[in-house]
Amino acid sequence: MRIAVTIFLTDETITPVRLARELERRGFAGMYLPEHTHIPVERTSPYPAGGELPREYGRTLDPFVALGQAAAVTERLGIGTGITLAAQHDPIDLAKQVATLDHLSGGRFTLGLGFGWNVEEAADHGVEWRTRRELVRDRMGLMRALWAEEPTAYEGEFGSVRASFAHPKPVQKPRGPVVGPRTLVGGAAGPKLFAHICEYADGWLPIGGRGLSQSLPVLRAAWADAGRDPAALQVVPYAVHPSAGKLAHYAELGIEEVVVQLPPAGEAEVLRALDAYQPFADAR
């Protein structure tokens, strides 16, 4: 089982370069970074985990810039977003960012997608909350057109692009309906989410990894009904606080990668957390 990490990197934490080098040296599989462009002070959206919103949410580094630094100082470490708030991006710009990072890293990039929880943040980007899932679906369709081998036009409900020359291309070749880098969708289990995964992704990023014994068979059935290759489905529990028992349970479910949570802290505290997680990485 591959062990990757996620962390809220901020202007107050360990740097992406220092962390990436340490992860590769220690044999961890990857580094995934979250995204928040800003956190409006006047906010009615509740923090999903409950209580006060942690300080790091308003100080998060841009994940693509930070991952570019990480890719530049490593050779094997996987890099990814966990997650990209695709509704808050211009899809033509995002397609270029994703393809460039994947190209320059030699195909090491994973695009983790999500729909968000902060209504006010999304609203400042012009996102209508009730249609955000369909907006993300539409933006993925447009990006897939730009990533296609031949110039391909796209006309969607929320956007369009002419048949265009758009390079570089992501390293991975198309697989079934999926075009672009490895793509995983985050969110709570349910028929709408699973439909999105089956339509344009390689798999699922379940936050925390709870309830997989019940939800995985449902996703696998939806995947099969969509005509996708059963062996190709990837499920990557995300932001996990690991234990030997938990990882053994995931292995029994056929899971091959887990992303564990690091504290949003300075170098000394983050390295102590890596020391605690090291036995899991060594046992993979």
Q: What is the pLDDT at residue 209?
A: 85
List CB contacts of 54: < 8 A, sequence separation 6 or more: 8, 47, 264
Q: Give the tokens for residue 192.
A: 């709408």
Tell me the pLDDT tens digit for each residue of 241-269. 999 999 999 999 999 999 999 999 999 99
For the chain, how big is the Rg over CA atoms in Å? 18
Where does the pLDDT of residue 193 fall: very low under 50, low under 70, confident under 90, or very high at 90 and above?
very high
Tell me the pLDDT tens digit for each residue of 129-172. 999 999 999 999 999 999 999 999 999 999 999 999 999 999 99
Where does the pLDDT of residue 283 fall: very low under 50, low under 70, confident under 90, or very high at 90 and above?
confident
For residue 110, give the 3-state DSSP assignment: strand
Q: Give the tokens for residue 15.
A: 């740097």
User: Residue type for 168, please?
Assistant: P
From CA 140, how far away is CA 146, in angstroms rounded? 10
On whether the CB atoms of residues 6 and 34 are closer than 8 A, the answer is yes
Mean pLDDT of the 68-75 span: 98
Selection from 274, 245, 260, 265 nearest residue 208 by Cα: 260
